[in-house]
Chains A and B, each alone.
Chain A
Amino acid sequence: MLFISNYQLFAITFIYQLGTTIIFGFGSSAGRDAWIGELISTGVGVFIILIYIALMKLNPGLTLVQWFPVQFGRWIGTPISFMYPLMFIYVSGRIIADVRDMVATALLSDTPYILTAGLFAIIMAYCAFGGIESVSRLGEIFLPIVLILFGLEVILLFGSDVLHIHYLQPSFEKGWMPIQKAVFPAGITQSFGETLVFAMFWTQTKQPEKVMRITLLATILSGVMITCFDVLAIMAFGTLFSGFLYPLYTLLSVISVGHFIENLQMFGVLYFLMTALLKCVVLMLAAVTGIQQITRMKSYRVLVIPACAIALILGLTMSKNIAEHIYRHHFEILVPYIWVPMLLVVPGILLIVSLLRRLRK
């Protein structure tokens, strides 16, 4: 039996939630009110995660894919639970596509996509082979690096004299609508709703009774950290912020201390790649262990390479460019037709069913 310690759970949850949000920034559609939107999303996100944890407590000892057959019966439950591993593979394919575009834009403009994305997929497969115990230790090592780099970034930004506090004014320029649009449904499903993936691993923690506190703490902290990034980006760019594809990457490029510490955005990319990789590996592991548990296979390891290959092919083919990838697939397909039903509606129904069953007994 593998075990994840409290600190490890905190680390991987935190980094998972930073995941790709840290690349794309949050809610840029809300303009200079994006940070308010992020704070509200964190609040709602905490509530959603409470639902997931309630589900875990109502189904003790069971993972995400085992909840549905138990509560809905075998014939309805199994197909539903099969949807989740497929969604995880799809989302990890999306992250590969994110990385593909990110690397091409920022680091290697001439290298073919298949090489960069392929290398990323190989690393992902290697990590997935290592299993959740190794990955959680990896997260444990990443966490201090992520925090230290964040601290350095803030210090350097203040040192570069590019932040203008008045850019944050005026708040609520266009009323609540832009914020509301950013928060629902994209803001709360992105990273907070996605935390549902950890339901696959909560059963393997050393102290399951502490899962709630740790996950909520990680959620609030990651929400605060993304808010900080948003605030910094808005203070540096004002409303221009909405136009950037990679606002936080652009933010790093304005750092200039003594004309010597400059062009740090490369390190930023590495930093984003680290969090994206961990998120991708967690998703991949959840997918393969999910399929293994549904089909009652002995080991998930045979699934790793096919699953990573599928994710790679998805990542290479799902969109032609970053604009299509983000504005069309993410906001028009993924969020309304996949995430909302699977991360909000189905767990909601499951909660009602589980509660009703509990009351009957």
Chain B
Amino acid sequence: MNVSERPAEPAIVERLRHRFGGSSDFIVRLIQEGPKDRCQYAVCYIDGLVDKNLLAFLLEAVVAEAREGAGMTQDLARSLTSRIPVGSLTAPESEEALVHAILNGEAVIVGNELTFELSVAIPGGPSRAVEEPSSQTVVRGPKDGFTENLADNVSLVRRRLRTPDLRIENRVLGRYTRTKIAVFYIEGIVQPVILEELGRRLDAIDIDGILESGYIEEFIQDTSWTPFPTIQNTERPDTVAGHLLEGHAAILVDGTPFALILPVTFFKFFLSSEDYYQRHDIASFVRMIRFIAFFVSLLLPSLYIAVTTFQQEMIPTTMLISLAAQREGVPLPALLEALLMELTFEVIREAGIRMPRVIGPAISIVGALVLGQAAVQAGLVSGAMVIIVSFTAIASFVIPALGMSAAIRLMRFLLMVLAGSFGLFGVLAGMIPLLLHLVALRSFGVPYLLPIAPLKWMNFKDLFYRLPWRTLTERPAVIGSRNPRRQPRRGPKREGTRK
């Protein structure tokens, strides 16, 4: 077909071309069959947002309709719709809606003799396969993690909660990115107050772009003036499902594998979904290890500084002598020594994340040998300090939530400075305001230190330890109190065990 013969496009196509400004990925496919100018369709879509296979089916149907259906029936639209084998069909009302439909991965069919435009949803494009989550791994438990594709993520959650009470509410946020987000909750378990508050906070967001759930987290959290996360994020669909069952709500954002869970309390950050899959006694032990690791990672360096600098009399004599011998040639005071080592560790850590994977072994050799052993041999730091710093660092990785361990790291530096200036009194002077801060924090109106302050004995069943599932008959108080019963309460013994 040469240019002069090119038939006139439907007017709407012209306008769409103009709207997209001639972008190379905006494709208009003209279909002209039958008697000249008798029947003409145009299919508009964005290459890369639609599924190629489905598009082929769609085009085939439109071509067939143009070839055979022309003039056969009066109702063109009906005969066309009946031929289209794929996707959900809509008829966008306005041009704006048409543009958004195209941008959402729909193909729009316009025809000279159609009285309206038909939009077929055939979203596609590149996406990653479901893989094991990289930030939260488990030994026992499901290995699938969220991907960047919202539709896949929704299905991962839905597959775990096959109930009509699982509600998914979609929204579009971001003036330019038009990011799809989905709010998940289970009707009848979640507290309506929380949903209302969440809706209000989401409505207030008006920004040009949302690229990750972190944006939303910052917009909807109760306060920005705290290092502690008041909204949890997870890559694991089973974690989301577990929290939904306890009365939390979740937000999934298109384009990121990190889902948000809210409201959330301090202690939630120390739980892993694996705790619920393992035997309860093992899981409880591991949990206690995590809480000990929390205190170690927060307090160990500052206690060491305080005791060695100000309160040496607290150290048993033999230990004191060996510590003093180690520190003999060290030029720096304990505080500076600890800060130096901690900062070095932070640098190595950050390098480990940012560097290209290939250079990894080089960094670990430099880190372990040069900064560890050689620094001790050179007399720059004492061996005890290396042990303290490395144990602290390892302990901070035991905490399952990255956001929480980051907050603890920050607080650690503060406490170290206080310990270096005021000794144990400084540690106390840091801990009390920290506690008060935690106590005053709220996540969607739920007190952050929930089962401890205010005290809820019931929630202790699943806190520092996890009792067997048989005894967890109620959902945790406050967040899950709308529908407290999780399973019927049984007698102390299983039927049949009594002889």
Interface residues of A, Cβ cutoff 8 Å to B: 5, 7-8, 103, 107-108, 111, 115-116, 119-120, 123, 126-127, 130, 133-135, 137-138, 140-141, 259-260, 262-264, 266, 269-270, 273-274, 277
B310 within 8 A of A: yes
Interface residue stretch chosen among B89-97, B113-121, B202-210, B445-453: B445-453
Interchain CB contact (< 8 A) of A130 among B313, B422, B436: B436
* Given A8-B454, A270-B425, 5 extra CB contacts under 8 A: A108-B310, A108-B425, A134-B440, A140-B453, A277-B432
B410 within 8 A of A: no
B365 within 8 A of A: no
| 3 tightest A-B CB contacts, nearest first | A137-B453, A137-B439, A140-B453
Which residues of chain B are within 8 angstroms of A140 by Cβ–Cβ distance? Answer: 452-455
Which residues of chain A are within 8 angstroms of B435 by Cβ–Cβ distance? Answer: 138, 141
**Which residue of B311, B422, B425, B455 has the most chain A CB atoms within 10 A of its CB atom?**
B425
A273 touches B455 (CB 8 A): no
Interchain CB contact (< 8 A) of A103 among B425, B440, B453, B455: B425
A127 touches B436 (CB 8 A): yes
Q: A139 — nearest CB in chain B belongs to which residue?
A: B453
A116 touches B455 (CB 8 A): no
Which residues of chain A are within 8 angstroms of B311 by Cβ–Cβ distance? Answer: 107, 266
B426 → A minimal CB distance (Å): 8
Q: A3 — nearest CB in chain B belongs to which residue?
A: B454
Can you report 18 residue pairs joining A to B where beta carbons are below 8 Å apart? A5-B455, A8-B453, A107-B424, A108-B310, A119-B426, A123-B429, A123-B433, A127-B436, A130-B440, A137-B447, A137-B449, A137-B453, A140-B453, A141-B435, A141-B439, A269-B425, A270-B424, A270-B425
B247 within 8 A of A: no
B458 within 8 A of A: no
Which residues of chain A are within 8 angstroms of B436 by Cβ–Cβ distance? Answer: 126-127, 130, 134-135, 138
Which residues of chain A are within 8 angstroms of B426 by Cβ–Cβ distance? Answer: 119
A260 touches B433 (CB 8 A): no
Interface residues of B in 296-312 (CB under 8 A from A): 310-311
Which residues of chain B are within 8 angstroms of A141 by Cβ–Cβ distance? Answer: 435, 439, 449, 452-453
How far, in angstroms, from A135 to B426 measured CA to CA in the complex? 20
B452 touches A274 (CB 8 A): no
Interface residues of B in 377-433 (CB under 8 A from A): 422-426, 428-429, 432-433
B164 within 8 A of A: no
A190 → B minimal CB distance (Å): 24
Interchain CB contact (< 8 A) of A138 among B422, B423, B424, B453: B453
B314 touches A266 (CB 8 A): yes
A119 touches B453 (CB 8 A): no
A266 touches B453 (CB 8 A): no
How far, in angstroms, from A124 to B186 measured CA to CA in the complex? 43
B126 within 8 A of A: no
Q: A103 — nearest CB in chain B belongs to which residue?
A: B425
**Which residue of B429, B436, B447, B452 has the most chain A CB atoms within 10 A of its CB atom?**
B436
A131 → B minimal CB distance (Å): 8
B275 → A minimal CB distance (Å): 23
Which residues of chain A are within 8 angstroms of B310 by Cβ–Cβ distance? Answer: 107-108
A138 touches B439 (CB 8 A): yes
B440 touches A273 (CB 8 A): no
A357 → B minimal CB distance (Å): 38
